[in-house]
């Protein structure tokens, strides 16, 4: 009888283990489109599929991007810019229209697999001084009703990507949301929990290192550190785990310690700052991927890694604002033309380059070595005010190529941006077109791509049109109530 009891117990344990959900994190990517040299969306989707990346996060509902994702099988998180939150918060009609035009129309057989809608992007960021905060919850409620009307509420989940500055602590176990955010965070997390949505957070150890000269460099990576952080019985050997568990503690403090967490953005730039380079980016991203896929979790969530992580980012975006730093244009694991910057294995083999990229002819614009360049300053200012010259800054990959090299780099960046128009290499006779690649070491003089589509600011012209339409709906609603 004892043997039968032991066997029954063993079988029960096996049954429990087999039915328990296995935590298996997926590695996705952020696909930003603020680029001067923009690959066609179809090539980008092929690049994502070729590298067996199954999840992508986009920052807005650009029609050409969503059309390119149709039938791809890629799970998509669609973003709503912060600037749209005000109108969605006050107009259910505008929310209905947006869901109909940007979600329902694509979620057909063979369409786009939209799983999440990111309502705003880091709307609680300290630097925004609370300007978007009043609109977040009303916008969420209206959009949730719109999804319900479209019979999509059970499948498409609303989330609000938060920056890691939404919470604070000296030690992870003492994590808490900023005092002025406690009330709205409690409301937000309650909403997320009730609707089966995860908490989405962006974590950037690079920014901790970049913004604090006393931050231990090895603590930003995953190879171990000489400066571990002891927190009671828990010891933290990397900044990512410490930051993640600070959020876990903050969630626990408001009664949601088991809330699933998705990392909406995480990565390391390759240029534009001293600590931004190919070696560091590869070490961080590969270390992060290995750490996540090991399923070790963190001290406060052992064996439970984040649900998913979205690397920031897929491609370099040469037209992004450099206000946070010159590195902002160099987060991509691929360069603007879809070429892998370094060897990286995301769990499906080493990165593969984009195919069928159509380049402009192999020619470059450089400073004419026979000319007096003493009056070139105004030309460099003009070129770099339009084109991307962030690799020339201190710490950048082209910073050490000398004065003439810097001038040539600026000239060429402008020339390629102008689609190699012959007049764009004139610079009052100081420029010269060459067919010899002037690249020096790690400093790459780019050649533009011909299959581009224009990008007018963060979301292109379509974004301005959408804002106008939504505000018109709001205006008509107000007028109708008078």
Task: Tell me which residues are annotated as active site.
Answer: 122, 265
Separation of alpha carbons 224 and 83, rounded Å: 41
> Which residues contact residue 206 at a Cβ distance below 8 angstroms, ignoring those fewer than 6 apart?
220, 267, 268, 269, 275, 276, 284, 327
What does the block give as tokens for 357?
């990229």
C-alpha 167/C-alpha 123 separation (Å) is 14
E strands in 81-183 = 113-119, 157-159, 162-163, 167-168, 176-177
**Two tokens, residue 98:** 């947006």
Cα–Cα distance, 396 to 278 (Å, whole number): 11
Residue entry with tokens 């939504």: 470
d(C-alpha 393, C-alpha 274), whole Å: 9
- Name the pairing type of β-strands 229-231 and 234-236: antiparallel
Q: Quote the CA–CA distance of 333 and 33 in Å, as a whole number.
A: 14
Enter the tokens of residue 191: 């909403």
Residue 3: its H or E element: helix 2-19
Q: Give 170's contacts (C-beta < 8 A, 6+ positions apart).
A: none
Token pair 């070139």: residue? 376
Closest listed residue to residue 195, CA positions, set 161, 136, 148, 163: 148
């Amino acid at each position: 009888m004892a043997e039968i009891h032991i066997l029954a117990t063993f079988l029960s344990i096996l049954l429990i283990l087999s039915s328990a959900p296995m935590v298996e994190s997926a590695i996705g990517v952020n696909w930003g489109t603020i680029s001067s040299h923009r690959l066609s969306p179809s090539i980008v989707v092929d690049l994502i599929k070729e590298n067996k990346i199954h999840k992508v996060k986009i920052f807005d509902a650009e029609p050409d991007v969503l059309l390119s994702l149709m039938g791809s099988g890629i799970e998509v998180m669609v973003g709503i810019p912060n600037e749209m939150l005000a109108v969605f918060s006050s107009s259910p009609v505008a929310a209905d229209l947006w869901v109909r035009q940007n979600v329902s129309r694509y979620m057909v057989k063979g369409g786009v697999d939209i799983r999440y809608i990111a309502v705003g992007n880091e709307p609680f960021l300290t630097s925004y001084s609370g300007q978007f905060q009043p609109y977040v919850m009303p916008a969420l409620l209206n959009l949730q009703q719109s999804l319900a009307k479209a019979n999509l509420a059970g499948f498409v989940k609303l989330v609000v990507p938060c920056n890691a500055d939404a919470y604070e602590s000296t030690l992870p176990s003492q994590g808490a949301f900023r005092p002025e955010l406690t009330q709205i965070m409690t409301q937000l997390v309650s909403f997320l929990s009730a609707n089966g949505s995860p908490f989405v957070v962006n974590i950037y150890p690079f920014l901790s290192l970049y913004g604090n000269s006393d931050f231990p460099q090895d603590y930003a990576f995953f190879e171990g550190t000489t400066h571990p952080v002891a927190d009671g019985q828990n010891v933290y050997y990397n900044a990512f785990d410490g930051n993640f568990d600070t959020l876990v503690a903050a969630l626990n403090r408001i009664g949601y310690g088991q809330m699933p967490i998705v990392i909406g953005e995480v990565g390391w730039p390759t240029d534009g700052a001293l600590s931004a380079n190919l070696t560091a980016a590869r070490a961080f991203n590969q270390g992060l991927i290995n750490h996540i896929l090991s399923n070790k979790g963190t001290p406060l969530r052992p064996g439970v890694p984040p649900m998913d992580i979205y690397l920031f980012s897929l491609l370099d975006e040469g037209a992004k604002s450099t206000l946070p730093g010159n590195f902002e244009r160099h987060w991509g694991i691929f360069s603007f033309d879809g070429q892998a910057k370094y060897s990286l294995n995301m769990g499906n083999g080493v990165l593969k380059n984009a195919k069928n990229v159509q380049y402009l002819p192999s020619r470059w614009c450089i400073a004419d070595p026979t000319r007096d360049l003493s009056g070139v300053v105004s030309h460099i200012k003009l070129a770099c005010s339009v084109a991307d010259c962030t690799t020339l800054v201190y710490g950048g990959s082209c910073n050490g190529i000398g004065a003439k090299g810097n001038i040539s780099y600026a000239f060429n960046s402008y020339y390629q941006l102008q689609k190699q128009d012959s007049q764009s290499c004139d610079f009052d006779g100081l420029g010269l077109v060459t067919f010899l690649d002037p690249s020096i070491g790690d400093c790459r003089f780019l050649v533009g791509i011909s299959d581009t589509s224009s990008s007018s600011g963060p979301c292109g012209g379509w974004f301005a049109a959408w804002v106008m339409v939504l505000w018109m709906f709001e205006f008509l609603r107000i007028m109708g109530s008078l």
